[in-house]
Structure 1
Amino acid sequence: MPTPVLSDQETTGRAPAPSGTHAYLALTVIVGTQLMLMLDLTVVNVALPRIGTGLDFSPTGMSWVLNVYSLAFGGLLLLGSRIGDLIGRRRALVWGVAAFTLASVLGGVAGNAATLLTARALQGAAGALAAPSTLALIATTFREGAERNRALSVFSAIAGGATAIGLTLGGMLTSWGSWRWVFFINIPIGAAIVLLGPRCVPETARHRGGRFDIAGALTGTLGTTSLVYAFIRVGETSWGDGRALAAFAAAVALLAAFLVNETRVEHPLVVLRLFADRNRPLAYAVMMLVPAAMGSIFYFSTQYLQLYLHYSPIRTGLAFLALALPLLVAARIAPRALARGRSPRLLATTGLTLALAGAVWSTRLGASDGYARGVLPTMVVMGFGIGLTMMPLNTVILSGVAPADAGSASGLLQTMQQVGASLGLSVLVTVYGTVSRHHRQEPFIHGVDAAFVLAAAFVALALALVLALRLPQRKPLTGG
């Protein structure tokens, strides 16, 4: 029998590279998916006070509107990545976006808190199926080097731009219509991706064999959820609360079971060989800490502007442009600096130093500061710093990853971001609740300042981890 001639896709896992117009359309579908998923993280933020009033959420309970999404998203991302390996990453992306769009409709028509939280959980689960395929499709569609860096530059810029678009759009929709429109806005975006995806994005090879790591997905997701619930419960009650202590105990047991399971199953959710390069786990840890800090800036700044300064939702959204626009500018600078041979470590160090300065400034927020003195400087400096940090760390994580592991690597990256955002926000809400209960005068300000101190500590730890990176000397990129 003659030896079959295998295609590039079959031997390497790389899809045939699109050319010309199709390359732009493929990248548009990929970043459009990321835009939709990122929009839902921020567009809801500005609408939270109206959602809380409309559906009777408590002040700390409102954080669940964000957390239930992030928990389902982050907890199931690795399983979603594995599904993408088995059915093809383009198909996983399209199916995930279709389910996400339907869940958005449910969220838009929700008549009570339970229905909204169910819709948010479904959105998170659907996002977990679609999201790992975004960076994975970039990694398998565009060649490593200048070509992939340009695609990652667009991806990072869109991800950063989604912050500005989401916050501003959330304010506009909530002010001019209803908070329900922050969910309905996903319908046209999702429909366009479902229609264009199969036509424009090349499919990846399917890696058959093995079973889904259901035990890992369940223990990891339930363990993280228990941990977040425990922290939020403490924020609402006290550290001696029986339900909180039971949730902490359950979290420890479930997460321990997850770790044991991952060392024993044939096809684990966490591919351990990804940690063979010492730089990658450091970069993953930073990707967990930065969203943990940023979550507090979004959540508590929104509360401060709307509930304390009495800003309208649209004015609040416009106020966040001070963070989003510098982030966009920095996201454009980072890939050009990399192309000129600048080290990802240098760029991330510079970015996190700026972010730390902004985070420290936020801890000085006073009752009489207002926007210009209390919020604006923090947003500008942190926005530029974070924009300079994220794309270089993406390249560290994806550099040298085999095509067959691209989905797992990108899925784990996004898991770190989502779980970091959920855990970070829950811990900061706990600090806020604990401190504010002990102050009769200006309890909100005292609680927020304490939360921002911890956020600054997260950024400081991220900076220390970046300084520990050991990267080879880079040469300027040419061609492509």
Structure 2
Amino acid sequence: MSTQVPADASVGSSASPAVEAGPAADKAEHPSHRWWVLGVIAIAQLMVVLDATVVNIALPSAQKALGFSDGNRQWIVTAYSLAFGSLLLLGGRLADLIGRKIVFLVGVVGFAGASALAGAAQNFEVLVSGRALQGLFGALLAPAALSLLNTTFTDSKERAKAFGIYGAIAGAGGGVGLLLGGVLTEHLSWRWTLYVNLFFAIVAFIGGMALLRKGAPADRPKLDIPGTLLVTIGLFGIVYGFSNAETHDWSSPLTWGFLLLGVVLVAAFAWWQTRAKHPLLPLRVLVDRNRGASFAVLGIAGVGMFGVFLFLTYYLQLSLHYTPIKTGLGFLPMIGALMVSAQLATNTLVPRFGPKPIVPLGMAMSAAGMAWLTVLDGNSSYAANVLPPLIVMGLGVGLAMPTAMSVATAGIDARDAGVASAGVNTMQQVGGSIGTALLNTLAATAATNYVHSHGASPAALAHAQLHSYSVAYWWSAGFFAVGTVLALLMYRRGLPEQVADGESVAVHM
């Protein structure tokens, strides 16, 4: 059984075993347009990904300008992650039901407007509101962008190249955000870490209007309202609970209470999806073993990645006394290694060996890179002690993440492309939220215990700081190690097979 590609799905989609494009559309398309579509999608995705870190370096300047407290500072980050993480599945389903082009364009315009509002904020409340709106429109934009990529590139070789580029952007966006945040804050103003999104948005909107097809799906099932409420509130509870762990004790009801509520509601959502007539997340999206393995890998990688971006940023600035710009530049070798290995994995290694050896190798290299960072101390130098593990990390993440993203969305029926793409983004976002809260809490506890044991002299405080970073690196390495084992156990051997509409379909990436 074949399904019709929604008219807005892409420019240049070719027929696949599960998806057919209309002949009239095929005649009107030009193959090169697909790569322009990739450019538009990549710019929009970069805007969303880098916003998770670009504001971080600007926070001290923003706090000084607007006069909000240290306790309120976390809400500048949390407001974004709460809205983004809890609404992603809804955004993905809306892309399937309404049309990917319109949801993509609404997301771009809304994200730009929210960025302008936050950048112009004259008080804390407006800044937080703008960040929350960024998360809301990002939840529309991100899954629409990935589903457009999935339905645009169905040829095996082109798909490999496209997902290599997209995965590299997703993995490197945090580092790019740190560099861009440092440049803008140091030479312009903290407000430009938000205003810069307007330039990305203008290019993405014009490109989207010109290149993406108009139209909407012919068959529009009803939206699963109970499922939407359950998963949205459940994900909100999980993200909010972990966010509270940064400022409250784990024994606080504001931490464990929201975590428990979130887990119960997500479990109820999973139960409801087996009974709903028009499920928000159809089980056919989840039944494939390789897809489940990819979701797990992306979530774990989201946790571990924050160990390098967050704590290595602290180390470079506070221990090695780097400026914000120099800190951002310090991550460039990792980004370069990531982009090289992403292309190598998706274009050469996975088509030959399948994901089973490649993803575990990438996760293991990431674990080794994080463990290597634990030896850093106050006398370490960048070239001898920071650069080598950074390159290992970049190579490892480049092998694992783009491969997992491609496998997670390969062979998906066009009607489910949006919600499957939302699942990818949800795992990364929830993983990142867990990583931020958990690693921050563990590092803070380690620093406090060290001071209690060694006193509060300046030397002891400096060593406590380094010890806290080391603890975070070890935990990140542990998460990557768990991901290595799961990937080894869960991925099937050989090239992946996806199931679409009851037919077994070989997918050669």
Q: 2:95 matched to 1:74?
A: no
Contact 1:164 1:325 in 2 (8 A): no
Among 93, 96, 108, which residue is 1:85 paired with?
A: 96
Q: Please list, as runs of the form range in 1=range in 2, the aligned pairs for 1:410-421 lying within 5 A after superposition.
A: 410-421=421-432
Residue matched to 1:380: 391
How far apart are the structure 2 equivalents of 1:346 and 1:114?
49
Residue matched to 1:266: 277
How far apart are the structure 2 equivalents of 1:394 and 1:243?
33
Q: 2:44 matched to 1:33?
A: yes
Deviation of residue 133 (structure 1)? 1.6
Deviation of residue 372 (structure 1)? 4.2
Contact 2:307 2:476 in 1 (8 A): yes
Residue matched to 1:407: 418
Deviation of residue 123 (structure 1)? 0.7
Q: 2:366 matched to 1:355?
A: yes
Q: 2:474 matched to 1:453?
A: yes
The 1:162–1:251 alpha-carbon spacing in structure 2 relative to 1, beyond 3 Å, is closer
How far apart are the structure 2 equivalents of 1:420 and 1:320?
21
The 1:367–1:90 alpha-carbon spacing in structure 2 relative to 1, beyond 3 Å, is same
Deviation of residue 104 (structure 1)? 0.6
Q: Which deviates more, 166-175 or 105-114?
A: 105-114
Residue matched to 1:397: 408
How far apart are the structure 2 equivalents of 1:350 and 1:388?
8
Residue matched to 1:107: 118
Q: Which deviates more, 243-252 or 411-420?
A: 243-252
Contact 2:97 2:221 in 1 (8 A): no
Q: 2:494 matched to 1:473?
A: yes
Residue matched to 1:3: none
Among 116, 128, 133, which residue is 1:117 paired with?
A: 128
The 1:311–1:221 alpha-carbon spacing in structure 2 relative to 1, beyond 3 Å, is farther
Q: Please list, as runs of the form range in 1=range in 2, the aligned pairs for 1:111-260 lying within 5 A after superposition.
A: 111-203=122-214, 205-206=216-217, 208-260=219-271
Residue matched to 2:499: none
Deviation of residue 125 (structure 1)? 1.0
* Residues 213-248 of structure 1, C-alpha deviations (whole Å, 9 max, x = no match): 344344434333333443444443433435334434
Among 341, 344, 354, which residue is 1:343 paired with?
A: 354
Q: Which deviates more, 127-136 or 42-51?
A: 42-51
The 1:247–1:8 alpha-carbon spacing in structure 2 relative to 1, beyond 3 Å, is closer
Letter in 1 for 2:166: F
The 1:371–1:269 alpha-carbon spacing in structure 2 relative to 1, beyond 3 Å, is farther
How far apart are the structure 2 equivalents of 1:257 and 1:123?
28
Q: Which deviates more, 417-426 or 68-77?
A: 68-77
Q: Which deviates more, 377-386 or 443-452?
A: 443-452
Deviation of residue 312 (structure 1)? 1.4
Q: Which deviates more, 167-176 or 362-371?
A: 362-371
Deviation of residue 420 (structure 1)? 0.9
Deviation of residue 166 (structure 1)? 2.5
Among 4, 23, 42, which residue is 2:53 paired with?
A: 42
Q: Please list, as runs of the form range in 1=range in 2, the aligned pairs for 1:272-351 lying within 5 A after superposition.
A: 272-338=283-349, 341-351=352-362
User: Considering only aligned residues, what root-mean-square deviation do their CA atoms show, in Å?
Assistant: 2.9
Q: Aligned with 1:236: secondary structure?
A: coil
Q: What TM-score results when the alignment is normalised by the length of structure 1?
A: 0.89
* Residues 327-370 of structure 1, C-alpha deviations (whole Å, 9 max, x = no match): 11112212221475132222212211211111111233334435
Q: Aligned with 2:353: secondary structure?
A: coil
Calculate percent identity across the aligned residue pairs: 38
User: Which 5+ residue runs of structure 1 have no aligned equivalent?
Assistant: 1-5
Q: Please list, as runs of the form range in 1=range in 2, the aligned pairs for 1:4-15 lying within 5 A after superposition.
A: 12=19, 14=21
Deviation of residue 191 (structure 1)? 1.5
Deviation of residue 93 (structure 1)? 0.5
Letter in 2 for 1:134: A
Deviation of residue 462 (structure 1)? 0.8
Among 90, 98, 102, which residue is 2:109 paired with?
A: 98
How far apart are the structure 1 equivalents of 2:68 and 2:434?
20
Deviation of residue 187 (structure 1)? 0.4
How far apart are the structure 2 equivalents of 1:328 and 1:20?
24
Matched length = 473
How far apart are the structure 2 equivalents of 1:213 and 1:430?
37
Q: Which deviates more, 240-249 or 360-369?
A: 240-249
The 1:413–1:248 alpha-carbon spacing in structure 2 relative to 1, beyond 3 Å, is closer
Contact 2:85 2:236 in 1 (8 A): no
The 1:289–1:445 alpha-carbon spacing in structure 2 relative to 1, beyond 3 Å, is same
Contact 1:46 1:316 in 2 (8 A): no
How far apart are the structure 2 equivalents of 1:283 and 1:122?
29
How far apart are the structure 1 equivalents of 2:177 and 2:134?
16
Q: What TM-score results when the alignment is normalised by the length of structure 2?
A: 0.84
Contact 1:71 1:418 in 2 (8 A): no
